[in-house]
Amino acid sequence: MNESRESKNAEQLEELLLLTEEIQEELEQKDQLIVELKTQLNESLTLNEKLNKENRAGNIQALKNDLKLADRALRSEKEKLRSANVMIEECQDKIRCLTQQRDYARTHQKIVEIPVEKPVLYEKCESCDRTAYQNEKAKYGTQKERLAGQYKAKTVMFQTTLFLLAWYSLTTTLFQAVQSDVFLSDCKSFFHDAASFIQTFIGWTIDAGQSVAQISTKIPNAFIAGIIYWLLLILVVGICVAGTGILAILIEIKVIELYKKNCWDVITLLMILTSTAVIIYFGEAIKKALSVNLLLLFVLSQGVYLGIRCYLKNRLGTKQYW
């Protein structure tokens, strides 16, 4: 019995020792866990303090920057206010000076009133007698018609006189031209040269047409080749002659338009008559001095005159004298 009890007690003691060891191990683990937690807590507190310090420093720097910006804005506004005050003072000084000048002008200058009679239309007065007005109006109308008639009569007389003088000058000049062997010879030579030039030009066009028409020789059929030959010849000659004729007509129309626009006046008539008379009356002397055709010289002089008149009309605004 005693042995069984002692064995039970030993077993209980061993169980208690094992339990005590387990509890001791748990306590040690818990102590180690507590130490680790304390370490983590300390690290968290340290990190928190660092973060608080950094936040405080950043906030302080931001506040300092805001204060600097506010200070600058305040200084700028103060400067603007000072400039505005200076400008206001200057304007007030100017207003004060102008007011003094106005007051001085009012007190020292003399104002003279000049009476001006207002024109009153005679027709607006309904109660006035219009007999004098009607008489003056009738007299004015009669005088206007008389002066218009005199002006028209003088204009007709001037135009008639000018026409008779031009006719006289033209007839005498033509008579003298008929009697001038030199002028007649130059006229014949001029028209002969012009006809020769036309014949030469026509010959050139025929030669050009024949050269072009030689293309038909490559056609083996003689009948078709002959038809094409004459068609090409007529076509080339017709185009050249028609083109030259149209060009000459256009040049003539342009010259006539220039004459009407710039030279259609009395001065041109006098210039034509004068140049014609000079060439006819002094033709022999001109031929001795210059070996030139008199009719060609007349045409060239007209071209030079037309160029001068166009220049004066376009550049200097010279008026025409009708």
Which amino acid type is present at position 41?
L
In a domain, 189, yes or no: yes
Q: Within 10 A of 29 (CB to CB), how many other CB atoms are there?
A: 10
Q: Residues 304, 310, 315, 320: what is their CA dihedral angle, to the nearest 10 degrees?
A: 120
Q: Which DSSP helix (H) or strand (E) runs through 96?
A: helix 2-108
Phi first, then psi: give them for residue 84, nearest 5 degrees.
-65, -40
Same domain? For 218 and 96 the reply is no
Same domain? For 161 and 97 the reply is no
Same domain? For 180 and 33 the reply is no
pLDDT in tens, 111-162: 555 665 555 554 555 555 567 778 788 888 888 888 888 888 888 888 888 7
Q: What is the pLDDT of residue 16?
A: 60
Q: What is the pLDDT of residue 250?
A: 92
Which of 44, 72, 102 marks a domain boundary?
102
Q: What is the pLDDT of residue 17?
A: 63
Res. 3: pLDDT tops 60: no
Same domain? For 98 and 173 the reply is no
Query: Is there a contact between 266 and 321 (Cβ–Cβ < 8 Å)?
Result: yes
The dihedral through the CA atoms of 176, 179, 180, 185 has a sign that is positive
pLDDT in tens, 95-114: 777 777 777 766 766 555 56
Same domain? For 83 and 232 the reply is no
In a domain, 107, yes or no: no
CA-based end-to-end distance of the chain: 176
Same domain? For 222 and 311 the reply is yes
pLDDT in tens, 61-84: 766 677 777 777 777 777 877 777
pLDDT band at residue 172 under the 50/70/90 scheme: confident
pLDDT in tens, 187-207: 888 888 888 888 888 888 888
Q: CA-CA distance, 124 to 282, in Å (whole number)? A: 73
Q: What is the pLDDT of residue 246?
A: 92
Closest CA relative to residue 262, chosen from 312, 199, 207: 312
Same domain? For 189 and 284 the reply is yes
In a domain, 119, yes or no: no
Q: CA-CA distance, 258 to 272, in Å (whole number)? A: 16
In a domain, 311, yes or no: yes
Same domain? For 207 and 266 the reply is yes
The total of structural domains in the chain comes to 2
Same domain? For 192 and 288 the reply is yes
In a domain, 116, yes or no: no
Same domain? For 284 and 207 the reply is yes
- Token pair listed for 229: 């030959």
Which of 102, 123, 138 marks a domain boundary?
102
In a domain, 293, yes or no: yes
In a domain, 145, yes or no: no
pTM for the model stands at 0.42
Angle (CA) 148 149 153, round 5°:
120
Q: What is the pLDDT of residue 321?
A: 45
Range of 244's domain? Answer: 150-316
Same domain? For 276 and 156 the reply is yes
Per residue in 279-298, is it b (16+ CB within 10 Å) or e — as a string? bbeebeebbeeeeebbbebb
Q: CA-CA distance, 165 to 171, in Å (whole number)? A: 10
Same domain? For 80 and 186 the reply is no
Residue 173 burial class via C-beta count within 10 angstroms: exposed 0-12, middle 13-18, buried 19 and up: buried
Which of 102, 134, 159 marks a domain boundary?
102
In a domain, 139, yes or no: no
Residue count (the chain)? 322
- Token pair listed for 171: 């007839």
Closest CA relative to residue 241, chosen from 192, 196, 204: 204
Q: What is the pLDDT of residue 82?
A: 78
